[in-house]
Amino acid sequence: MEDSKENSHNLSGLHVDTKTTNLDQSMNLWEEVRTANLHPSRRSYHSAVIFNEKMIIYGGQDLREGPQSGMWRIEIGQFDQGDWEEVKIQDSSPLCRHSAIVKNDSMYIFGGSDGTQEFNRTIIFNLNNLSARSIVPENSLCPPPLDSHTACLYEDGTVAWMIVFGGYAIGERSSSVYTLNLSSEKWKKAQTSKGPEGRSNHSAVIYKDQMLVFGGTNEEGEKLSDLWRLDLRTYHWEEIKGNGDIPSGRSGHSAVVFKDVMIVFGGMKDITKETNDMYSFNFDTHQWVMFQYEHQIKDPVSNEQLEEFKKSRMSPVKKGDPSPTTKSPVMKKNTTDNISPQKTFTRKNTDGSSPENTSFIPKKKKTLYDGPASPVVGRIRAHPPHPRDGHSAVVSGSIMIVFGGDRHQMPFNDTYVYFLVEHTIKTPVKGN
């Protein structure tokens, strides 16, 4: 009886059984967060940052509906009570596959695509008064139009920089490094030693005076598993030959820094093969550790609860009714039968293959959960994210927050927290 208490919760009057067998230790440290009221629409390849203990997401894409617009935020410390809030901003045009960093009260958005073209503009949002302005490229020292790149904040003690690497530029994948001086707002192309091959949908993090780049997709569409370090004082590249459980090649994954390790979560290993495994990389010892196996995740809401919820939604509801029961429609398989495409989005596929036209069919927005609709609001413990790529991950204190992404071109707008326990993320899982 005691065991059942430890593996279940009573949320919003519903008993949710989360007990599974053979959980590795890390799975118990996940919580799915379900909030009421409005939510961001489903999206992947958006950006996410932390500002004043709030996670802020911007833009993104739904492969069927196209690039998304707008900014949303949620209070990190109030996940149990807080809701998502749509932020009213001046610039609300659709944008995806861009990058974002925060310095002081400013968020810098660089590059990305609106579905028809890539950009090399920098949009600066003041996160206090929500005003926006742009840095217009001036000369050849600026990056070309880019998407699916990375951007990191680096501070050398006197100046803060945005470091941009890789991405998809003018028809091919880039291996160039560009720096934006946040004080002078001037771009410069860095002169580096010979480094990694061009790539897109990789990850990059800053640790001390180094930028570490992992994975991504190369020009041949191969998923990469190499790890490179760029010394930001000398701009010398070095490939790091790690030891231990080196991750398989992947793209569209996330990477964050926690103390002396980099944590890699999820990504796409191959076409229609997303994962939710997790690795840590120790910056000092170069040791890779797999601390969460890949798991296929089932919805924690029972079929009986789902049927009850469906019945509760069958009564007529007027358009615009703010009733919470209208916020989480049951998701169905999409169909393109007998529907004429309304919009063409000329972008790469999420598997990293060559660009080709993808038709988007307008359809009703779907929110909250990419699976059976759930009336549950609150935290569901020991419930990791489904396998995915194109998601975001940020760190606030000792928790990692994961939002969105997609699986088999079906985007999510769900939110998870992972409690960062140093012993767990440095301990390999034993058996699957």
Instruction: With a cut of 80, say whether residue 237 has pLDDT above it.
Output: yes
Over 55-117, what HEC string results? EEEECCEECCCEECCCEEEEEHHHCCCCCCEEECCCCCCCCECCEEEEECCEEEEECCECCCC
Better pLDDT: 1 or 86 = 86
Angstrom distance (rounded) from CA 46 to CA 68? 8
Which of 115-129, 305-319, 415-429 is predicted least confidently?
Answer: 305-319
Poorest-pLDDT segment among 39-43, 281-285, 360-364, 414-418: 360-364
Q: For tokens 């069927």, what's the residue?
A: 64
CATH number assigned to the domain covering 26-297+376-426: 2.120.10.80
- CA triplet 246, 251, 254: central angle to 5 degrees? 80
Indicate the pLDDT class of residue 347, thresholds 50, 70 and 90: very low
Ordered by start, the domain boundaries in the chain are: 26-297+376-426
Say which amino acid occupies 74: I
% residues pLDDT > 90 (the chain): 62
- For 58-101, write each residue's pLDDT tens digit: 999 998 889 999 999 998 775 555 789 999 987 679 999 999 99
**pTM score:** 0.81
d(CA 4, CA 1): 5
Residue-averaged pLDDT of the chain: 81
Q: In the predicted model, is pLDDT for residue 334 greater than 90?
A: no
Q: Does residue 405 register a pLDDT over 50?
A: yes
**Per-residue model confidence (pLDDT) at position 297:** 82
